[in-house]
């Protein structure tokens, strides 16, 4: 018999467990005043498992900027062949009265990491699909399959030699925010940008953030919207969770959790076309009230100008964070980036008393930048191994 699960799973990039836990704790403290969030179970370095609570799950899928997916785990099977996998899941689906489906709902199966199962991915998908459809039919409920626009996106994956079946509560990857009209060259994934902001421990009430090579503006946007606790999607959309009977009676979360915070983000971009794209993305995200975009070379933007902008925004005398994702070198960059790293390090040290966070994949970065980092953390940027460095300046 398969094991019935009833857990919420936050999935993020490798190495994101601590920041996802920290962000969700912050969100729940503000969104559900007085609610005590259970200690999560770690499932690898990029997944956290909590008891399933609809109110917490709705907050997570509406506001958690560091996660890639929020899943409701339903079933787990350690069957090692298709026939018992089908039998176990069909039997449990036939007995399951939880509100994850309804009569006439359409489903689609999203497989991941099924290489450890001794059958092909398509065969596993077929077994799971048939088990859910036939299990529902045993309860008098009709499910249909819609690969393109399903009511319910079902995630199927292997973890610790078990096949886990879950409902994707977002209905799609959470990093697909909707505001990025033009990503430019090698754009940073939105939830990774949010992870970097969390790693710098930016206090948006008391510190400003400067991104000296903003590219398409992703770091600047995520820093501003995370400081406000704004909902994930621009324009707003209903998460798929709200269609599930288990969430009946819960209202969409559309207001900022920290609406009394006024972040200040200063972003610079040397390339005019890229700066124009960043400006469009910032506007589409609704972040232009909190982001000042400066077209031009960061080396020509001194601390005096940054402090003048801060003073004009009523933030005189505050400290800050520099956060940047500079060129890595390689096929997308014709020039050797090491001289740029040296200049970036010298520029950052003008901001004594601040912190500087850098995500980079070049082996020569640390020596060229100079100084001793407080944090050196491996991360993955679109499957490319990278390292995050945090410096006290």
HEC per residue, 337-385: CHHHHHHHHHHHCCCCCCEEEEEECCCCHHHHHCCCCCEEEEEEECCEE
Digitized pLDDT (tens) for each residue of the chain, 393 residues in all: 568 999 999 999 999 999 999 999 999 999 998 888 999 999 988 999 999 999 999 999 999 999 999 999 999 999 999 999 999 999 999 999 999 999 999 999 999 999 888 999 999 999 999 999 999 999 999 999 999 999 999 999 998 889 999 999 999 999 999 998 876 666 799 999 999 999 999 999 999 999 999 999 999 999 999 999 999 988 788 899 999 999 999 988 889 999 999 999 999 999 999 999 999 999 999 999 999 999 999 999 999 999 999 999 999 989 999 999 998 875 445 578 899 999 999 999 999 999 999 999 998 999 999 999 999 999 988 778 899 999 999
- Cβ count within 10 A of residue 323: 28
User: What is the predicted pLDDT for the residue at 233?
Assistant: 87
Q: Which residues pair with 390 in a beta bridge?
A: 357, 375
217, 218, 219, 222: CA torsion to nearest 10: 120
At 182, phi and psi to the nearest 5? -140, 115
Q: How far is CA 154 from CA 108, 325, 382, in A?
A: 6, 34, 23
pLDDT digits (tens, 9 = 90+) for 209-237: 999 999 999 999 999 999 999 999 887 88
User: What is the predicted pLDDT for the residue at 334?
Assistant: 57
The Cα angle at residue 47 between residues 59 and 258, in degrees rounded to 5: 30
User: What is the predicted pLDDT for the residue at 186?
Assistant: 62
Q: Which residues pair with 77 in a beta bridge?
A: 163
CA distance 48 to 70: 10
* DSSP tag of 1: -
pTM, to two decimals = 0.94
CA distance 11 to 46: 6
Q: Name the residue ranges covered by the structural domains of the chain.
A: 3-168, 190-392
CA distance 314 to 21: 32
User: What is the predicted pLDDT for the residue at 2?
Assistant: 63
Q: How far is CA 148 from CA 107, 108, 110, 270, in A?
A: 9, 8, 11, 40
Tell me the CATH class for 190-392: alpha beta
Q: Domain 3-168, what architecture? A: 2-Layer Sandwich (3.30)
């Amino acid at each position: 018999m398969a094991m019935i699960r009833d857990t919420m799973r936050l999935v993020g990039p490798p190495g994101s467990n601590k920041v996802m836990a920290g962000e969700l704790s912050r969100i729940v403290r503000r969104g559900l005043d007085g609610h005590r969030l259970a200690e999560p179970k770690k499932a690898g370095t990029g997944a956290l498992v909590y008891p399933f609570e609809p109110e917490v799950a709705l907050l997570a899928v509406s506001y958690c900027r560091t996660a890639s997916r929020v899943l409701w785990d339903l079933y787990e099977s350690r069957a090692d062949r298709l026939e018992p996998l089908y039998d176990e899941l069909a039997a449990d689906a036939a007995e399951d009265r939880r509100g994850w489906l309804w009569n006439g709902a359409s489903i689609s199966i999203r497989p991941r990491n099924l290489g450890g199962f001794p059958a092909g991915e398509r065969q596993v998908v077929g077994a799971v699909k048939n088990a859910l459809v036939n299990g529902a039919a045993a309860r008098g409920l009709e499910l249909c399959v819609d690969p393109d626009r399903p009511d319910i996106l079902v995630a199927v994956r292997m973890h610790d030699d078990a096949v886990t079946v879950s409902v994707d509560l977002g209905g799609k990857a959470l990093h697909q925010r909707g505001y990025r009209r033009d990503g430019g060259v090698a754009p940073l994934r939105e939830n990774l940008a949010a992870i970097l902001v969390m790693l710098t421990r930016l206090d948006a009430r008391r510190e400003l953030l400067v991104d000296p090579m903003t590219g398409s503006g992703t770091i600047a946007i995520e820093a501003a919207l995370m400081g406000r606790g704004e909902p994930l999607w621009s324009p707003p959309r209903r998460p798929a969770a709200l269609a599930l009977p288990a969430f009946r009676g819960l209202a969409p979360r559309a207001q900022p959790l920290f609406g009394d915070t006024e972040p200040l983000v200063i972003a610079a971009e040397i390339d005019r076309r890229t700066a124009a794209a960043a400006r469009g993305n910032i506007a589409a995200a609704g972040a232009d009230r909190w982001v000042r975009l400066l077209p031009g070379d960061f080396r020509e933007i001194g601390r005096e100008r940054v402090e003048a902008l801060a003073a004009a925004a009523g933030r005189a005398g505050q400290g800050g964070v520099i956060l940047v994702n500079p060129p890595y070198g390689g096929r997308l960059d014709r020039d050797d980036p090491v001289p740029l790293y040296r200049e970036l390090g010298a520029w950052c040290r003008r901001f004594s008393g601040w912190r500087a966070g850098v995500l980079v994949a070049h082996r020569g970065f640390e020596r060229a930048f100079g100084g001793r980092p407080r944090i050196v953390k491996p991360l993955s940027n679109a499957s490319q191994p990278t390292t995050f460095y945090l410096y006290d300046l």
